[in-house]
Amino acid sequence: MTDSLNCKQLGEVLGDNGDDVVTPWEVSTNSSSGVDYDKLIVRFGCSRIDDGLLQRLANLTDDEKFLWKNLSVSEVNHLTRENAKDIIAMGFDPKKTFIFSNFEYMGTCPDFYRTICQIQRLVTYNQARAIFGFNDSDCIGKISFPAIQAAPSFAQSFPTVFENLKKPEDVGCLIPCAIDQDPYFRMTRDVAPRLGLPKPSLIYSVFFPALQGNQTKMSASNPNTSIFLTDTPKQVKNKINKYAYSGGGDTITEHRERGGNCDIDVSYQYLRFFLEDDQKLEQIRQDYSSGKLLTGEIKKELITLLTEFVTEHQRRRAAITDEVLKRFMTPHPLHLPFI
């Protein structure tokens, strides 16, 4: 990570024509091939993950957003619990995992709130406005939220979770997130030394493109841009066939002659995320690029893969009872290798 940047540097990573916008609230680009991640890496002072780094990874993360959505508290609480079930269904171990919502945890843990206040005192309104672009019409909740987002980066916010540690303040934090969350944690890294705490480290992921193309990411507010974990096999099939942007030719003859463009083809981009067989993925890329594989055929590959993924996820999720959810979301000591 680099030193603090001003709002434009943090909030907008502009291409030569000012075509990429990447903020915690908006991701868009005019390029059909999507966001220029090479430019993001340079501008945000990041580095790519290599094979050596992959051997040293650990995982701790949580995210809670309320103030930017037009939802009631009860609706947010419901969505939080449903999202927690989706996380648990991915195979997390309750002995090594604590999932929390800010609403619930802040009321039960004074140490968490104390950490938030320590961070709040170290960041001025002018700094927050410069980083996040707040304006006079924003509610004060938005202005205070970055400190709440930052507090889980420090082990002192979780005395029960790390109760077996003699010096929890020495424990580092690794945060996997999309790169549009960079402003929050760049601010966090700036205040950490003044708190006498270790700076968190971050792993930034690329964005999952909308079905309509790489110009923007999936959005829960528009069901036609996304494949949801609650979708039926029929919905998955219909969405991909109808909305998944094609990088193929306009006609079969043209496609056979010129081949498809995998850089802009959404079905191929999704296969990059979900297909674990790298050799098969490379074969699909070659066949589609050469025109041997048609758009309908690559969509069929994706439909089969996502249908299996979503169906299996729903099966595991159905087994998660309220008791299981409570086990994950009640503060408890974690059994980790370094404890």
Domain range annotation of the chain: 7-64+101-207, 215-318
Low-confidence stretches of the chain (pLDDT < 50) are 1-17, 25, 51-65
Position 322 scores a pLDDT of: 94
**pTM score, whole prediction:** 0.75
The predicted-structure confidence for 177-190, as pLDDT tens digits, reads as follows 888 888 899 999 99
Position 17 scores a pLDDT of: 43
Per CATH, which fold does 215-318 belong to?
A: Tyrosyl-Transfer RNA Synthetase (1.10.240)
Position 6 scores a pLDDT of: 47
Cα separation, 277 vs 287, in Å, equals 15
Cα separation, 73 vs 67, in Å, equals 10
Contact 160, 331 (CB under 8 A): yes
Return the CATH superfamily for domain 7-64+101-207: HUPs (3.40.50.620)
User: Rounded to a whole number, what is the distance in angstroms from the first to the last CA of the chain?
Assistant: 27
Residue in the block written with tokens 């051997």: 55
Mean pLDDT for all residues in the chain? 82
The predicted-structure confidence for 230-270, as pLDDT tens digits, reads as follows 999 999 999 999 999 999 999 999 999 999 999 999 999 99
